[in-house]
Structure 1
Amino acid sequence: MARTKEFDPDAVLRRAMELFWQKGYEATSMADLVEHLGIGRASIYATFGGKRELYLKAYDRYLESRPDFIELLSQPGPVLPAVRTLVEGYAEEAAHDELRRGCFVVNTAVELAPHDKTLARRVEANWDFIETALTSALARARAQGELAADRDPRALARFLLTLMQGIRVIGKSSDDPARLRDAVEQALSVLS
């Protein structure tokens, strides 16, 4: 007869995500996971697979837990204030991350994507998603006359995506929120 799980897999996955987010993949040992998750190694393997499979599930959980900015960007009315809110939100979140975790996706891109094709594809898919959402919003802004007709929504979206990911990197290593605010203000001025 199979034993029932004596833990909540969803709660354990959330804790695994937090640990990987804080320490990274390589710096997190199986012993760290056992201690932090409060379950045995055999339970981790039986429920999630190995460390890599757990990391992939934690990555997916992170994406699921992020706010849905598509709703913000697709609201009726002016678009550029929503874009500004999104970019400023990235800077605010980065500036107030007391644990200096950065972004799980950016951390994955830097640590693992260069040598892990599966994670590289997942990172690219996430960035494609953000780029597409921004391109759509900026095309709508151009159609509504908020953005000059000669502005390329896709190029601007790529610029903002790069800025937003850079914000995550700077926020992880700098304790100067003015650095982020100034960069955001300068970047958003290209939309005017």
Structure 2
Amino acid sequence: MEIGNRLKNARNEKGMTQEHAAELLGVSRQTISNWENSKSYPDIISVIKMSDLYSVSLDHLLKEDNTMKQTYQEFLEESTNTVKAKKNLSKIVLLSTYFVVWITVMILFWNVAGTIINELDMILRWILLPALLLFITVTVAKNDYFGKGKWLCVPGAAITFLTVPYTHTQFLFTEETVTFIFRFPNIPYMAAGILISFCGLEAGILWNKICKK
């Protein structure tokens, strides 16, 4: 018997309609129909949920002939590889975005000719970089990227924020401008990076726990 028929029989024995099962599983009725007609296969998480919902064992739902078993195993393996690939891509995009923005800001700060308008310094230093760091750390922790290695975001933020130069505000005629001064280390800004990254990770961890509940 194919897995689709097993899912259909289990649902019928439980006295559930496709609409009711779909609502409890968080999928569409069409998805349930496709699974039961073997037009597509449910992922392993959905199979586990249906096992609990229909009060049947996983062995009962997945115990098939050798051909069917191999087909479903191939599907699960392909799905797992796809999820891993998307997760790895997300990690690369997040980290790359942060470092590209940081490098761009550093190039602008260190190669600017003379002075720069104070508002631009405020946007780059106190809005763009902190907001981006907060978003990335929350996302990393919420999705549990890197496992315990996610805490390396804190020293990483400390190092990148440490290299941002001090600024000195002055007035030239009627325009408020900023002159960049190299003072190493930039402890105050480094402390800000540490605080932002730590708060972001803690918020992401809390978000992850709430989603699991």
Shorter-chain TM-score above 0.5:
no
Computing the radius of gyration over CA atoms, which structure comes out larger, 1 or 2?
Answer: 2
Q: Comparing both chains, which one has the higher relative contact order based on Cα–Cα distances under 8 Å and sequence gaps of 6 or more?
A: 1
What is the TM-score with the length of structure 1 in the denominator? Answer: 0.39
Structure with greater strand share of residues: 2
